[in-house]
Amino acid sequence: MRASGTFTVADFPPAPTPGADPAAAPGPEIGTAVPVGLATMRKEFEGEVVGRSATLFTAAFDQAKGVGTYVAMESFEGTLHGRSGAFNFAHSATTTGEDRQSEFFVVVPGSGTDELAGITGSGGIAVDPDGTHRIWFDYELGR
At residue 114, what are phi and psi to the nearest 5 degrees? 50, -130
Query: How much is the pLDDT for 106?
Result: 98
Burial class (CB in 10 A: 0-12, 13-18, 19+), 87: buried
Query: How much is the pLDDT for 18?
Result: 53
Report pLDDT digits (tens) over 71-110. Answer: 999 999 999 999 999 999 999 999 998 888 899 999 999 9
**Low-confidence residues in the chain, pLDDT < 70:** 16-28, 143
Nearest Cα neighbor of 105 from 142, 75, 72 is 72
Q: Where are the beta strands (DSSP E) in 63-112?
A: 67-80, 83-95, 100-107
Distance CA 41, CA 56 (A): 7
Query: How much is the pLDDT for 71?
Result: 97
Distance CA 86, CA 49 (A): 12
Query: How much is the pLDDT for 97?
Result: 84
User: Taking all residues of the chain, what is their mean pLDDT, rounded to a whole number?
Assistant: 90
Is-above-0.85 flag for pTM? yes
Query: How much is the pLDDT for 53?
Result: 97
